Amino acid sequence: ETGVTQTPRHLVMGMTNKKSLKCEQHLGHNAMYWYKQSAKKPLELMFVYNFKEQTENNSVPSRFSPECPNSSHLFLHLHTLQPEDSALYLCASSQEPNPYYGYTFGSGTRLTVV
Amino acid sequence: KQEVTQIPAALSVPEGENLVLNCSFTDSAIYNLQWFRQDPGKGLTSLLLIQSSQREQTSGRLNASLDKSSGRSTLYIAASQPGDSATYLCAVGGGGADGLTFGKGTHLIIQP
């Protein structure tokens, strides 16, 4: 495996379910990110983990809970979501503090909340 | 707060034309700027990365320029092909694990 891998690719969940999104990077990067992409809106940065420490939380509702057990893995735990949370969730990684080679994105998880 | 604007929002041109996509940003204190391509329902594919000290980057039929002082970047696509149809996203990076700030994208359709 190379690059940034996200699983599952598609997820349908009810509002009372609990599920988790997984992201794994094989690039040796030390920072990982969760982004949300909704229709008609720019990609929104949700969470940043730098050296496994969360450094950014852009006012994301508590029903989204990130976890970064090591610099290669990132999870997004989901519970009691709302239909408006349906979106494409993208994971990215970079080498900080100077991302000379830019950011690498995964293929995303398409989430549908019913 | 950094804001990124992309113009036009949508563009449809016949195959073979050369075209320019525009990106502007409000805060010139950037570390780098990255252009991505996104196909429907898919993730982001990096096309070109320009460091703040650079003026342009080229890859095949693509050329991206950066004028940091005026807060502008352009993506030039030469001899467009139907396979170029996608959404093109411009994103600026502040470095220091700040992540990227994205524009809304330009939805490009190349007519055969």
Query: Which chain A residues touch B105 with a CB distance below 8 Å?
Result: 42
Residue pair B95/B34 in contact (Cβ under 8 Å)? The answer is no
Residue A54 has pLDDT above 90, yes or no: no
* CA of B17 vs chain A CAs: smallest distance (Å): 27
What is the predicted pLDDT for the residue at A35? 95
Residue A45 has pLDDT above 70, yes or no: yes
B99 interfaces chain A, CB cutoff of 8 Å:
yes
Q: How confident is the model at residue A69 (pLDDT cuts 50, 70, 90)?
A: very high
Mean pLDDT of chain A: 91
What is the predicted pLDDT for the residue at B97? 67
Q: Which residues of chain B have pLDDT under 50?
A: none
Residue A55 has pLDDT above 80, yes or no: no
B43 interfaces chain A, CB cutoff of 8 Å:
yes
**Closest partner CB to B96 (pick from A45, A92, A96):** A96
Q: Which residues lie below 8 Å from residue B107, measured CB to CB, with a gap of 6+?
A: B9, B10, B11, B87
**Interval A34-56 mean pLDDT:** 86
Residue A2 has pLDDT above 80, yes or no: no
> Strand, coil or helix: what is A30?
coil
What is the predicted pLDDT for the residue at B98? 75
